[in-house]
A and B are shown apart, each in its own frame.
Chain A
Amino acid sequence: MKKIDHNPCRHNWPFKGILLSALIVIFSLSDVMAGVLVSPTVIFLSNRSRTGRMTVQNPTDTKQEVTVRFSFGLPESDSLGNIRVNLNDSISTDPNSALGWLKAFPRKMNVEPNATQIIRFVASPPKEIPDGEYWARVIVRARAAETEIPSATDENAITTRLNMVMQTAIMLKFRQGELVSQIEVTDLQATPTPENVEVMVDISSKGTASYIGMLHCRLLDANNNEISKTATQLAVYHDIRRRLNLPLKGNDFKKPFQIELYITNKGRNDIAAEDMISGNEVTLTQTVD
């Protein structure tokens, strides 16, 4: 007989994970003196819905001065597979840049302690814009609105203060038309070191939208026993190289080893399901020389 689960929440692990994260955020900010909370972490606009919103919350006990501006920056990799987001404030040469036709309201505000401010976005893309996904970064800058200049204890004293200013760079995506999210692994290398197997994977976007997903990798022995595994979030806009290190744990594994790579856009509970563009899955294996 099939067992029926009457508790629909029991298997809702992504929701629980996010809820747990939210609780951690709330409790870990009790001693904060400056900074803001920004949500969501990706903003989606489209030709059907050209407006969007973002929440800025001040979890501190001091008034925060917040400014909002746009920049451009995609996750890019170097030859060693290190990922960085290099922000470019001037007009980008990337044909998928949305800089120049986005507006935010308001752009400068004071947020009182424990208060929330909604920032609204409007996209005004050029007419006849080709179908595709267009990107920008929303830079939210926060600093204490009222800083106390330290007063000298006597007239010959020198006092100092360093103001801590925080900037959060949130991805904004404008989607035009029906889009496809697809990737291709163009190269996969596995190199053993005394303690790890270093995996280098080159991935190219072949779709009309960015690919957002998870990159899973397992190290297996000759009998398919799992030696180690790792998983990381993945965002592919053009081409990217990712490096993964799989620890070689234990000596009783039979060679030759192999790595198993699995890329999927399932498992991203930080982005709402309706905002995800379902993409292809890639599974590859490679023998470790």
Chain B
Amino acid sequence: MFYNSRTKTLSLVTILVILLVSYSAVMAQDVANGSATATVQAALVVTAPSALAFGTVYQGVPTSIANNLAAAGRFLITGQGISGVSCYMQLPDYLSTSTGDDRMVVSFSSTDASVDSTGNVDPTSFGTGWQNTDPHNIPAATAVGGGGTTNIFLGGGVIPSVDQAAGAYTADIILTVAYNGT
């Protein structure tokens, strides 16, 4: 009997505490709703979900990757939809070893880039935009797509010489993006 009474008391207290906490939370929520001001600032994001990947290459065997292959590089521009952007790509002339004692020619043709403003992330299935355009001269009319994203797919080629030294070769590809409506 004593046990039951104690259990009932504890249960009552627990329920009261839960009700009180819930009420406080509701009150807090009401206050928050009544006075909330939110400022979500516009953002610009430039990222590279995938690098242009030539993988392992061989002496004297040129290797190229088209911009519509899975191994193509991809830059992703995310921002406010239908905003004009200026894009510039700085492309290397060669890759070099970490010690800089050897170089390998890398080339980008005037059709090695595609600009897709549909939000499509797959280089093998182009949406809408500029296909096979010059990466040295990204079209001036490029804009963030209506969905808030634009992708630039990049291809290119490396030309190892017949006596190219074995090792790891690296270089930088730089994409600069600026809104042209601000």
- Which residues in A have some Cβ–Cβ distance to B below 8 Å? 15, 18-22, 24-25, 28-29, 31-42, 55, 59-60, 73, 75, 78, 82-85, 87, 137, 139, 141-143, 147, 149-153, 155-171, 212, 231-235, 269-272
- Point out which of A39, A162, A167, A272 has the most chain B C-beta atoms below 10 A from its C-beta: A162
**A268 to chain B: closest CB distance in Å?**
9
What are 21 A-B pairs at a CB distance below 8 A? A22-B40, A25-B79, A34-B48, A42-B182, A73-B178, A85-B179, A139-B176, A149-B98, A149-B170, A150-B168, A156-B166, A158-B56, A158-B58, A159-B56, A159-B169, A162-B51, A162-B173, A166-B48, A168-B177, A168-B178, A271-B42
B residues in contact with A153, CB < 8 Å:
56
Asked if B43 and A25 sit within 8 Å, CB to CB, the answer is yes
B residues in contact with A42, CB < 8 Å:
182
In chain B between 56 and 78, which residues have their CB closer than 8 angstroms to a CB of chain A?
Answer: 56-59, 73, 75-76, 78
Asked if B149 and A24 sit within 8 Å, CB to CB, the answer is yes
Q: Which 7 pairs of residues, A with B, have the shortest CB-CB distance?
A: A35-B47, A233-B181, A164-B48, A169-B178, A82-B140, A270-B42, A39-B43
Interface size range of chain B in the complex? 35 or more
In chain B between 158 and 182, which residues have their CB closer than 8 angstroms to a CB of chain A?
Answer: 158, 160, 164-182
Interface assignment of B41: CB less than 8 Å from any CB of chain A: yes
C-alpha gap A219/B156 in the complex (Å): 42
A residues in contact with B80, CB < 8 Å:
18, 21, 41, 270
**B148 to chain A: closest CB distance in Å?**
4
Asked if A212 and B168 sit within 8 Å, CB to CB, the answer is no
Asked if B79 and A21 sit within 8 Å, CB to CB, the answer is yes
Asked if A163 and B171 sit within 8 Å, CB to CB, the answer is yes
Given contacts A75-B181, A269-B42, 5 further A-B contacts (CB under 8 A): A29-B47, A157-B56, A160-B168, A165-B174, A168-B178
In chain B between 103 and 129, which residues have their CB closer than 8 angstroms to a CB of chain A?
Answer: 104, 106, 119, 121
C-alpha gap A98/B13 in the complex (Å): 66
Asked if A162 and B177 sit within 8 Å, CB to CB, the answer is no
- CB-based A-B contact count at 8 angstroms: 237
B residues in contact with A84, CB < 8 Å:
86, 140, 180
A33 touching B168 in the complex, CB below 8 Å, given contacts A165-B175, A270-B182: no
Asked if B177 and A167 sit within 8 Å, CB to CB, the answer is yes
Asked if A272 and B39 sit within 8 Å, CB to CB, the answer is yes
A residues in contact with B57, CB < 8 Å:
158-160
- Which residues in B have some Cβ–Cβ distance to A below 8 Å? 38-59, 73, 75-76, 78-84, 86, 88, 92, 95, 98, 104, 106, 119, 121, 140-141, 147-149, 156, 158, 160, 164-182
A15 touching B170 in the complex, CB below 8 Å, given contacts A25-B43, A33-B49, A271-B182: no
B residues in contact with A162, CB < 8 Å:
51-54, 73, 92, 95, 106, 156, 170-173
B residues in contact with A82, CB < 8 Å:
140-141
Asked if B149 and A163 sit within 8 Å, CB to CB, the answer is no
Asked if A29 and B78 sit within 8 Å, CB to CB, the answer is yes
Asked if B175 and A160 sit within 8 Å, CB to CB, the answer is no
B40 partner, pick from A18, A59, A235, beta carbons under 8 A = A18
Which A-chain residue is minimally distant from B164 (CB atoms)?
A: A158
A residues in contact with B174, CB < 8 Å:
141, 165-167
A83 touching B43 in the complex, CB below 8 Å, given contacts A28-B148, A32-B49, A165-B172: no
Asked if A21 and B148 sit within 8 Å, CB to CB, the answer is yes
Asked if A24 and B147 sit within 8 Å, CB to CB, the answer is yes
A residues in contact with B98, CB < 8 Å:
149
Which A-chain residue is minimally distant from B48 (CB atoms)?
A: A164
Which A-chain residue is minimally distant from B140 (CB atoms)?
A: A82
**B24 to chain A: closest CB distance in Å?**
24
Asked if B47 and A83 sit within 8 Å, CB to CB, the answer is no
B residues in contact with A269, CB < 8 Å:
42
A residues in contact with B179, CB < 8 Å:
41, 85, 171, 233
